[in-house]
């Protein structure tokens, strides 16, 4: 979830101290560097989180997520706080940090986001903008009118 990583985050350039004797149980420095570099590349563009929720034509307030997953995890405790802040307008707020499985505290920062209406019967589109750990969402009809569409329309938001 943190800013993109580089090979330096994985120990940088390495070289073998001794030749690899058994490649089934040992890894060469070159192989480790290739894996580390490929992994670092994935952090630049990968989806870090997605959440799904149903629109509400009711009053402003909290909205329950109906599904989602992130680098933080896939449980309900890992889902963001969603709030309706106006007609067709929602904020999705993730925690400022999370602790990974290695015990490292990682910041939550999004560098991009996108969204879509997930319906066969309701047409509309979604615009998003991210600021740190918060993704702001506006839902529009095809006529470019801000709207919740119909009550319960499913919307899915990705954060990168």
Q: What is the DSSP string of 46-70?
A: S--EEEEEE--SS-SEEE-EEEEEE
List, in order, residues 6 or more apart from 17 with CB less than 8 Å away: none
Longest dimension (CA), the chain: 67
Q: How far is CA 48 from the centre of its chain?
A: 3
> What residues are paired with 126 via a beta bridge?
139
- Measured CA to CA, the distance from residue 142 to residue 96 in angstroms comes to 34
102-152 per-position pLDDT tens digit: 888 989 999 999 999 999 999 999 999 999 999 999 999 999 999 999 999
Q: Beta strands 49-54 and 65-70: pairing type?
A: antiparallel
Tokens of 41: 């590349």
User: What does the alpha-carbon distance between residue 73 and residue 94 come to, in Å, rounded to a whole number?
Assistant: 12
Residue 157's closest CA among 61, 93, 76, 108? Answer: 93
Of 91, 105, 35, give the one whose Cα is nearest residue 61: 91
> In the predicted model, what is the mean pLDDT of residues 60-76?
90
pTM: 0.82
Residue 2 has pLDDT above 70, yes or no: no
- What was the pLDDT predicted at 113? 97
- Adjacent-strand bridge partners of 155: 53, 117
């Amino acid at each position: 979830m943190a800013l993109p990583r580089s090979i330096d985050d994985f120990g940088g350039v390495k070289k073998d101290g001794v030749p690899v004797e058994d490649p089934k149980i040992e890894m060469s420095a070159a192989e480790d560097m290739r894996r580390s570099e490929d992994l670092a590349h994935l952090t630049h563009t990968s989806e870090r989180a997605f959440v799904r929720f149903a629109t509400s034509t009711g009053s402003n307030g909290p909205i329950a997520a109906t599904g989602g997953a992130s680098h933080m995890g896939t449980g309900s405790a890992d889902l963001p706080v969603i709030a309706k802040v106006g007609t067709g307008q929602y904020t999705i707020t993730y925690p400022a940090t999370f602790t990974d499985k290695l015990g490292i505290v990682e910041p939550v920062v999004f560098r991009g986001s996108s969204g879509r209406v997930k319906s066969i019967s309701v047409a509309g589109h979604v615009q998003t903008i991210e600021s740190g750990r918060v993704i702001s969402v506006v839902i529009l009809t095809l006529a470019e009118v801000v709207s919740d569409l119909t009550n319960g329309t499913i919307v899915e938001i990705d954060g990168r």
